[in-house]
Amino acid sequence: MKKKFFLLAALVIASLTASASVEIIGGCGKSMITVDEEYFDSEEDADAFYQEMAKELCGDGYGDGYSKRYN
């Protein structure tokens, strides 16, 4: 739990300093703003991260589904 909290805190800081951002919307409708794909080494890394964030936002009951809205 502490590891996930630290990860989320670090990503919030990274999101604030990143030049481009994206809003991740989980299957339950909750959303968060984070860095866009340019921050990651590959699209696969970005997708894995966004899926994990959607799961953190909504819980396991909503699966790994998410949508993106560019800011």
pLDDT, tens digit, for every residue of 5-55?
767 777 777 666 556 788 888 888 888 888 888 889 999 999 999 888 888
Domain boundary assignment for the chain? 2-70
What's the pLDDT score for residue 65?
79
Rounded CA-CA distance 12/60 in Å is 22
pTM above 0.85, yes or no: no
Token pair for residue 14?
């990274």
